[in-house]
Structure 1
Amino acid sequence: MGVIRSFRKNFSDFFKKLFNKKNARIGIYGPPNAGKTTLANRILRDWTGDAMGSVSHIAHETRRARRREGVTIKSNGGSISLDIIDTPGLATKIDFHEFMELGMDEAESKRRAKEATEGVIEAVKWLENLDGVILVMDATEDPYTQVNVTVIGNMEARSLPLLIVANKVDLPESSPSTIRDAFPQHPMVAISALEGKNIDTFYDEIAKRFG
C-alpha cells in the first residue's frame, strides 16, 4: 500500500506542477551574431513595447542570459504566455585575440573573453530549466557547424521542442533552404528579425510548437 500511495502522490504532484505552470520558458539560442537579441527585441517590442537589450556587430556582446517574464503572444485566435530567455552566443572556442582585432586592449579583450566563456556555460545550464528552444541561425552562413549540430543534438537528447529560425532573409545572399535541407527533422521558419519580414508566420509557429 505504501508503494501505491507514493505513486499516487508523485502522480498528483506531477499534474499539479504541469497545470500550475503559468508561462512556458523558451530559450533563444544560436551562434554569435545570428540575431538572437534582435529577435528577442522584436518579440518584446511587438507584444510589450519594450526591448531586451542592445545589439552590436561585435561577437559575444551578450555575455549573460537575460530573461523577460510573461510575454503574451497572440496567434490564430489563441495566445501563449512565455518567459523569453536571450542567451549568449554559443561557441566552441573564444579567443581574446578576436577582441583585440576589434581595437580593444589586451586587458579588456581578456576580460570580455572570460565573460563570454562564462556566458556560454550559463547558457548551457539554462537548458535544464527550459520548456523549449528557438535556435537562431544566420541564413547567409553555412548551417552545418559544430555549434548548431551540438545544440540540436542537445535538444533532441533532452526531448525539448525546437523551432529553427533562419534569420537575415533580408540579405541577398541568404539561403534559408540550405538550413532546411541540413536539419529537415525540425520545423523551420525563415524571417528577418531586423525588418520584421515573415514575423507573423514566426508567431504562428511559436503557438503551434510551444502552445
Structure 2
Amino acid sequence: MRILLVEDDPALSFGIARALQREGWLVDTLSDGAAATVEGLIDQYDLAVLDLGLPRRDGMEVLRTWRSRGAKLPVLILTARDELSDRVQGLDNGADDYVVKPFDLPELVARLRALQRRAAGRADERIVLGDLELDTRHRELRWRGERVHLSPREQALTELLMARAGRVVPKDHIVSTLSSWETDFSENSVEVYVHRLRKRFADLGVTIKTVRGFGYLMELAEPPSK
C-alpha cells in the first residue's frame, strides 16, 4: 500500500513515516498544501494522511480540490483542530476519518488499516493464491501454514503481484510503487527482486512470468506432466 503523508512538522512527519514503513507500507511525504494539491490528483496512492494547518495552502482547501476533481483516495485528516465544527467540516468536505493531535500511533495505524479494507471493499485481510496465503495486516506470507520469510521489499513486491494475480503488472508501475524504499530503485532492481522471488517460489506452486515489453504476471504453476 502506498500512502501520501502531508505534514509540515518535520519530526512528526518522520515519526509517522517510520511507523507506517514498519508496517510494510510505502510512504511519500510532503510538507505544504500547494504541492499536496497536485500530488494527490495523481492516481498512485491508496491512502492520504492530511494535516490541515499547512503552509501555502490550507489542508481543508486541498481536500476540497481533490474531491472536486474526482480524486477518490481515502483521506484521514490528522490535525490539532479539535472543535466539533472542524470535524464536521472535514467529514463533509470528503474526509473518511478525522484524528486529533496528540494521538497514539497504534490507533493511527489501525484506522489506516480499516480505511484500506473499506476501500478494497472487503473485510478479509488475506490474499490467497494456491497454497500461498498473504496476511496483509500482519505482513506475513505462509505456504501450507508455514511462514515464508521475505525481506520488506520482497514482501511489498509479493503483495503487489499477488493482489493482481493472473494480470500483468507493468514494470514501470512496480518501479513507481516501490521506489520510496530506496532512491536508486530502478527497472534493474525489479529484475533482481523478481529473480529472488522466483527462486523462493519455485517449489511452492507459484510462478512469475515475464511478459516482454510490459511487466510481470504471477499465477499458479502448471502441474508437472506425468
TM value normalised by structure 2: 0.39
- Higher RCO (Cα < 8 Å, 6 or more apart): 1
The structure carrying a bigger strand percent of its residues is 2
TM value normalised by structure 1: 0.41
